Structure 1
C-alpha cells in the first residue's frame, strides 16, 4: 500500500483495509476458474457457441486513475466513470475515445469516488468510501445534496442502486448495512447535508467472517420495485431484501457463487456480476420473485484487468478495468498499464 492513498478514515483504517483486501486477492487467485468457461458442476448451463469479446471502449486520462465505478445516464446513454484514487468523475461520450473530466479530483472534499448511479431526474449519485454520498446535477455539475455516514464503527460506503420509486439504496461493506435515501429525504437535504438512514442490517444473515472483512458490495433493484439484491463478496452469497417488509433472505444460487462479486447489473431477469480479483464476469438467470439465480454463462479473461463494476447499454457491457493490483489498493504487481481504460464486452 502506498502512502498517498490515505483516506479520511486515517492510516490505521487503510492498513487494515489493505490486509483484508490482500487476503481477498490470494483467495481469488486460488479460486479463479478456467479462462472463458461456462459454470462447472451439475447445475451448469449448456455451452454456447458464441464467445464473448473484450475490447477497449474508452481511455481515462491520468497515470493513477484506478477507476472503480461506472454508470449510464438512462436519458442520454452517456457513461460516467469514477477514480478511486482521487475522486475524479469522468464523462464518456459515444464517438469520443478519450473521456473528459466531469468532476475534478477532490471536488467538494471527496477523496474517492466508488459507486456511481445516474437517475431519471438528471442526477448523478457518487459514493465516497469513508464519508458518504454526494448528489450532482448532470447538466450544471452543481452539488445538490450530501448524505453523511452515521458516526460509529468503521464504514466503507460502496455501491448504489436506484429503485423505480426514486429511492436510492447504498451498501456499506464494513457495517453490512444497506442505507436508503427516499425522494422526500433528498428534497429535505437539497442545498445542504443530511445523514444516511439505515434501511436493512444484514450482519446476522451473513456467514461468519473475520472482523474488518468486506461483505456487501454490488446492489440492484428489480424493475417492479419489490426487492433488491446485494452480494456478499466474502461469503459468496446473494441476498434478497424485500422493499416493503425489509425481510432478508439468502438467494438460492445454482451453478456458481458470488465470491469476490463487485458490481451488479440486472435487466429483465438477467443478472450480470463482476468478480474482481478473479477477472471474471458471470451471467445469471434470476427467477421471478428473486428467490433463485442460475448461472447461464461465465467469462474469465485477464484482459478484464481486475474489473470492479459494469453498466449495460444497447447490448454491450461496459466494464471498469481497475488494475487495483498494479500499484493500487490490492498490491504492487508491477506498474499499471497506461492509459487506464473501460472495456466493452459483447456476447455475454
Structure 2
C-alpha cells in the first residue's frame, strides 16, 4: 500500500494536487473526441493485467508505442496497427518504475525511474539497458523526461532541480559523473517537503527552452532557460491546469494529461505565452497519466484505479488530435 500511495503522489493526482481535475478558465466547453468510423487501427489497446502504466512514447517511423510500468519498471511494446504487444524490458523488481519515457531517433528509450531515483537508457530493439544513472539527492523522484538537441532532461517531483544528461555529437551517452544538476530559480515556487511540485516536461516549440508542468497554486506552466534554470510563468490567459501530469508537444500545440481528460493549449514559438483551446474527453479514459502523438492520433496512457493489484486490467486509449482552434460542447 505504501508504494501504491507514493505512486499516486508522484503522478500529482488526488490529494497531492487537489481541486477539480479540469482545465479552469475559458472556454468552458470540452471537446468529446469523435473517432473516424473507417479507422482500421484499434482505438483501445489492452495492456497486461497488473501493468500499472506510467509513460508512453511513440515512433513516427514505425507503428509502435512503448508503455512504461510503475510496477517494476518493465517496458511493453505495442503494434498500434493490431493492438498486440510484448515485453521488451523485464520487470526489475520492487522499488523500480518507468514513469516518463521518450524515444530518440537512434532507437533509444530514455526512462525516468520515479522513486528509484534512477534514469535509464534502453535499446528498443533488444530491451538491453545501455546506461543507468542514479541521482544522489535524498528522495530524488525522477518524474518525466524530455529530449532536446544535445541533451535529455529529467524532472524531480520533490526537488527544485532539473537533471541534464549531455549527449555527444553523435548522441554518445555521458559518464555517470557528467550528469548535471540544474537548480530552478526565477518564478519557481517549490512545495513543502513531500509535496509534488512538478511532473511533465517538454521542449518549447522553438527548441530553445523547456516547459514544466507546475502543479502548485491551481496548476500552470513554467518556461525554463536550460543554461541557467531560471523559470518564468507562462501566461495562459487566466486559465489554470489542475492535476497536470504528462505533457506532450505537437508543433505549437501542447497536450496535458489530467485525471479526467486531456487539456489542449496553443503556445507561441518561444513558449512564453499560451492559450487554452479545449479539453478532450472520452468515455474510455481512466485517469490519463501521459500522452504521445503519432500521425493524427493521440495515445493516452490510463493510470487506472487508486489501489491496483496484480490482476487489475489496464488499457490505453487512442483519440484524434485536435486540429482546430475552436471548441465545441459535449
Which category of TM-score, normalised to the shorter sequence, fits these structures? 0.7 to 0.9
What is the TM-score when the length of structure 2 is the normalising length? 0.83
Question: How far apart in 2 are the matches of 1:219 and 1:111?
Answer: 21
Question: How far apart in 2 are the matches of 1:21 and 1:142?
Answer: 26
1:340 equivalent to 2:311? Answer: no
For this pair of structures, how many residues does the alignment match? 313
Question: Which shifted more, 229-238 or 111-120?
Answer: 229-238
Unmatched tracts of structure 1, length 5 or more: 6-13, 34-38, 329-334
1:225 and 1:244, CA in 2 relative to 1: closer, same or farther beyond 3 A? farther
**SS state of the match for residue 262, structure 1?**
coil
Contact map agreement 2:145 2:201 (CA 8 A) in 1? yes
1:71 equivalent to 2:57? Answer: yes
Deviation at 1:200, TM superposition (A): 3.8
Question: How far apart in 2 are the matches of 1:125 and 1:347?
Answer: 24
Question: How far apart in 2 are the matches of 1:23 and 1:313?
Answer: 25
**SS state of the match for residue 246, structure 2?**
strand
1:240 equivalent to 2:223? Answer: yes
Contact map agreement 2:63 2:81 (CA 8 A) in 1? no
Deviation at 1:207, TM superposition (A): 3.8
Deviation at 1:271, TM superposition (A): 0.6
1:212 equivalent to 2:194? Answer: yes
Q: 2:108 aligns with which of 103, 114, 123?
A: 123
1:267 — aligned with what?
250
Task: Write out aligned runs for 1:1-348 (5 A).
Answer: 1=1, 5=3, 17=6, 24-26=13-15, 30-33=19-22, 41=25, 43-44=26-27, 51-53=32-34, 56-61=43-48, 63-106=49-92, 111-129=96-114, 130-150=116-136, 152-163=137-148, 165-184=149-168, 187=172, 189=174, 193-194=176-177, 196-202=179-185, 205-207=187-189, 209-235=191-217, 236-276=219-259, 279-301=260-282, 303-325=284-306, 327-328=307-308, 338-346=312-320, 348=322
Contact map agreement 2:12 2:244 (CA 8 A) in 1? no
Unmatched tracts of structure 2, length 5 or more: 36-41, 323-330
What is the TM-score when the length of structure 1 is the normalising length? 0.79
Question: Which shifted more, 20-29 or 118-127?
Answer: 20-29
Q: CA RMSD in A?
A: 3.1
Deviation at 1:270, TM superposition (A): 0.6
Contact map agreement 2:11 2:199 (CA 8 A) in 1? no
Question: How far apart in 1 are the matches of 2:138 and 2:168?
Answer: 27
1:148 and 1:252, CA in 2 relative to 1: closer, same or farther beyond 3 A? same
Contact map agreement 1:225 1:243 (CA 8 A) in 2? no
Deviation at 1:121, TM superposition (A): 1.4
1:304 and 1:181, CA in 2 relative to 1: closer, same or farther beyond 3 A? same
Question: How far apart in 2 are the matches of 1:140 and 1:18?
Answer: 28
Higher-helix-fraction structure:
1
Question: How far apart in 2 are the matches of 1:292 and 1:101?
Answer: 40
